[in-house]
Amino acid sequence: MASENPTASEYIQHHLQNLTFGQHPDGTWGIAHGAAEAADMGFWAIHLDTMGFSIALGLLFIWLFRKAAKKASAETPSGLQNFVELMVEFVDGSVKETFHGKSKVVAPLALTIFVWVFLMNLMDLIPVDFLPTLASLAGIPYFKVVPTTDMNATLGMAFSVFFLIVFYSIKVKGISGFIGELTLQPFGKWMIPFNLLLEGVGLIAKPISLALRLFGNLYAGELIFILIAILPFWVQWALSVPWAIFHILVIVLQAFIFMMLTIVYLSMAHEDH
């Protein structure tokens, strides 16, 4: 950190700063040492901690489910197999109840979103100083461990869903049908500019709302954990344990909401009027 005995403000800023890699104003490439340096790196800077944890947790998800599939047994199912089957049945039921089209992509996508987002959210339950302290001992100045508290990660996932919405809207309805949906409803051909404004805002709001909802809830939860960590040790335990128990609900709920909204949006994209 910036000093051995940081103030409360320095402590909070340090824990909210991503490990950013990019090009410095002098043309060299490297790690940013502070928010100002990170901002100077511009759009193409990469948050190494967000990328690293996102990829690692995605690989963990693939490995666990692949392991369960390879060792699946009808006679003596393992605990991992039971858990995987429970997740698959839960997501499959959600898709069947919500998605009214035919697609081989939606159910696997929904399962991936739910488990992956859940794992990323779950990192918020790790004590706020544990991994950053280990990272500082290794010479890493900043280390945020919750990818979904980074707007870049939530927007990236939301825009991926948005591109799928547009792709399936055009695939199912055709370009003319997609454009007609944006321009001819709800008030008919005599109100095309107004229709386009309403439908355009609604279309753009889908990825924005997906990203901001997930980011806002997890960022607020992480910030509360950081604020609790500033308090005396005995107060930390009195507050952090109840908040962590409550936050488990937020972690699961936000993963479920992101999955369900994705299913709903893709179902709407498959509906041809």
Tokens of 65: 């489910």
Active-site pick, 66, 78, 82, 209: 209
Residue 82: active-site member: no
| HEC readout, the chain | CCCCCCCHHHHHHHHCCCCEEEECCCCCEEECCCHHHHHHCCCCCEEHHHHHHHHHHHHHHHHHHHHHHHCCCCCCCCHHHHHHHHHHHHHHHHHHHHCCCCCCCHHHHHHHHHHHHHHHHHHHHCCCCHHHHHHHHCCCCCCCCCHHHCHHHHHHHHHHHHHHHHHHHHHHHHHHHHHHHHHCCCCCHHHHHHHHHHHHHHHHHHHHHHHHHHHHHHHHHHHHHHHHHHCCHHHHHHHHHHHHHHHHHHHHHHHHHHHHHHHHHHHHHHCCC
Tell me if residue 209 is catalytic.
Answer: yes
Query: From the candidates 195, 217, 240, 267, which is the catalytic residue?
Result: 217
- Nearest-angstrom CA–CA distance, 225 and 227: 5
- Check 103, 136, 152, 213 and give the catalytic one: 213
* 66 catalytically annotated: no
Kindly list the catalytic residues. 209, 213, 217
